[in-house]
Amino acid sequence: MLFSLRCLVAFAVLQLFTVPSFAVSQINIEIGALSNDSIEARNADIQLNLKATPTIAFKTALKQPADKAWSQAQLRCQVPALWLQETWSCSDGKFTAARMSLPFVLDITPQPKGFVANLNLQGASFSDEAGLHAAEKLKGYLTIAVRQDGDTLHFNSALNWQSGEMFWQPLYIANGGHELQANGNLRSDILTLDTATLKLDKVGDLHFNGQVDTKTLKIQKLSADLPNLNLAEAYPLLFKPFLGKTLLNNAELNGKAALNVSMVDAQVKAFKVNLKDVNVDDKNHKFAFYDVNADMPWGYDDETKVHISYQHGQLLNMPLGRASISAQVNRYSLVAPEITLPILDGALKLSDISAARINDSWHWHLRAALTPVSMPDATRAFKLPIMQGKAAAEIPLVTYSGGILTTDGAMALNVFEGQVKVTQLTMINPLGKTPKLSADLTLRNLDLGSLTRTFSFGAIEGKLDGDVQDLEMVNWLPVKMDASLHSSPGKYTKKISQRAVENITALGGAGAAAAVQRSFLRFFEQFNYAKMGLSCKLRNDVCEMNGIESKQRGYVIVKGSGIPAITVMGYNQNVSWGELIGRIKRVIDGNTKAIVK
């Protein structure tokens, strides 16, 4: 039965219960130890009961030669009259080992050169030591027909998983209702599947065929087809467990997909992914794409064309309009002449796109142009105070390599009736947990009137220039910069309101404003000024502040002109960045009075 004829019988006792000796009713065979190259048995007990319905029962301890622990196996079968043709019904089957219990019943019918078997698992459970491959309360049945033909073993099998749960790192399957049908043969270690279908309940049907070397587990040939995959069910079950470190690890997906893959010699030769009306929604709200349709063929030997389109979406809260993307794929590289991604009322136009996958990571370069986007919409999207104006950009070269996005060119924002230019923009992991950004900014001729109205700062009339060098932001907060803001050169009206004076003074810390409050200057609603400026050198969370000129005890922020002339001084040279932000927030929230007093 379990042992080949090459078994080495080490110790055997044959007991015949022969009383009287001519009417044998039961034969007991006890075998102390038995072994061959692949399996060892001990304390085997075989009982042959020769009553009206003869039965054979065995119980034994088993193990592979390398194992330390012994497993227990037992089975009781009814012996049919024609025992080479009729069905053997076996019950009380059980295989028990450390962390494993497999109770089963088995029907087995001998066939010419083979057999047909029905194995019914009745609440099996197993686990490896680490608990990473385990199942509980498994119920299901396996039907298999095997026929030997020369050196080839043909089989037809159907596995039906009725109930029970399984964790097979990293996959978890909560319940049954899945089926596997496979027909094929085994010939000198090569397993050939002629047709096979895996039906995953609610997820879809996978049809596949191929050849695998059972010794090396190398796939020699595979063709797999998943024509109708329900992504809402498939994503948590099949995809999410493998996407742990990617951006897609916490998303909600729905829609349909069709997958098709062919492999030769363990290498993917071609695949095709089709998406139909798919919605992808990142639960961390970093991105979302709706009504995605895609046709993405890929071939190792052939150049292919991929098409992806979506109706709308968002990226870092920036609304994206309908887009249709086409690209040419040549093995591990991709080119596209032009892609237009509508953003708000403008569009990001990417051109001369080329990408290559080298050492498992993507490297991109492209030209980018942002056609004017309305600032009111953009600032609303970013939940900033609403700004007027337009933003546009022309970047001759954008490269993305190893998670780092660098730009060579300038983004221009026409805001507050002036210009803001962003150059040397670099981003590291923009969609990650700690996105990093570095850039240089130049601000020219910003209208202080609309700027102060937008940020609810006391009214100032005039124009502002600024330079922010070596700006470094982490998680969209500045950690390093050399920033200076100052009145633009040229002739224009320069007036500052009493409230703005209070607010600027409040930025310098409590106490400084008191001088203004106590003096007669508090009776004036606004003043003329000659120049204003403030700078911040931010390092290690400390802002080293300065104004337009240094004085013995501080620095001048606003230099008055005419009568009455007002001079606003700053006294804190080093201010904690957090404290400064807090002060600005309090000023904007209109709570300055509380601090000044």
List residues near another protein by CB under 8 A.
Answer: 127, 130-132, 134-136, 165-167, 169-172, 174, 241, 244-245, 249, 433-434, 436, 473-477, 479, 540-541
The residue among 83 and 476 lying less far from another protein, judged by its C-beta, is 476
Cis peptide before 385 (omega within 30 of 0): no
The residue among 131 and 564 lying less far from another protein, judged by its C-beta, is 131
Minimum separation from the CB atom of position 484 to another protein (A) = 22
The residue among 132 and 386 lying less far from another protein, judged by its C-beta, is 132
Minimum separation from the CB atom of position 416 to another protein (A) = 26
The residue among 476 and 492 lying less far from another protein, judged by its C-beta, is 476
**CA distances (Å), 445 to each of 44, 52, 379, in order?**
96, 108, 20
The residue among 100 and 521 lying less far from another protein, judged by its C-beta, is 100
The span from the CA of 462 to the CA of 297, in Å, is 59
- Give 236's contacts (C-beta < 8 A, 6+ positions apart): none
- In eight-state DSSP terms, residue 68 is S
Minimum separation from the CB atom of position 474 to another protein (A) = 4
**Residue-wise over 72-82: b if at least 16 C-beta within 10 A, else e?**
ebebbbbebee
- Give 410's contacts (C-beta < 8 A, 6+ positions apart): 393, 394, 395, 421, 422, 423
Minimum separation from the CB atom of position 165 to another protein (A) = 5
DSSP one-letter string for 499-513: HHHHHHHHHT-TTTT
Minimum separation from the CB atom of position 151 to another protein (A) = 41
How many Cβ atoms sit within 10 Å of the Cβ of residue 469? 15
Minimum separation from the CB atom of position 169 to another protein (A) = 7
Minimum separation from the CB atom of position 243 to another protein (A) = 10
Token couple for 461 = 């009339």
The residue among 175 and 228 lying less far from another protein, judged by its C-beta, is 175
Token couple for 108 = 């087995």
Closest CA to 181 of 168, 204, 199: 199
Minimum separation from the CB atom of position 431 to another protein (A) = 13
The span from the CA of 144 to the CA of 115, in Å, is 8
Minimum separation from the CB atom of position 397 to another protein (A) = 28
Token couple for 596 = 């000044």
The span from the CA of 533 to the CA of 545, in Å, is 11
Tell me how long the chain is.
597
The residue among 38 and 434 lying less far from another protein, judged by its C-beta, is 434
The residue among 405 and 459 lying less far from another protein, judged by its C-beta, is 405
The residue among 342 and 430 lying less far from another protein, judged by its C-beta, is 430
> Exposed (0-12), middle (13-18) or buried (19+): which is 47, by Cβ within 10 Å?
middle
Minimum separation from the CB atom of position 98 to another protein (A) = 12
The residue among 295 and 470 lying less far from another protein, judged by its C-beta, is 470
> Exposed (0-12), middle (13-18) or buried (19+): which is 246, by Cβ within 10 Å?
exposed
Closest CA to 324 of 337, 309, 344: 309
Closest CA to 448 of 563, 537, 573, 558: 558
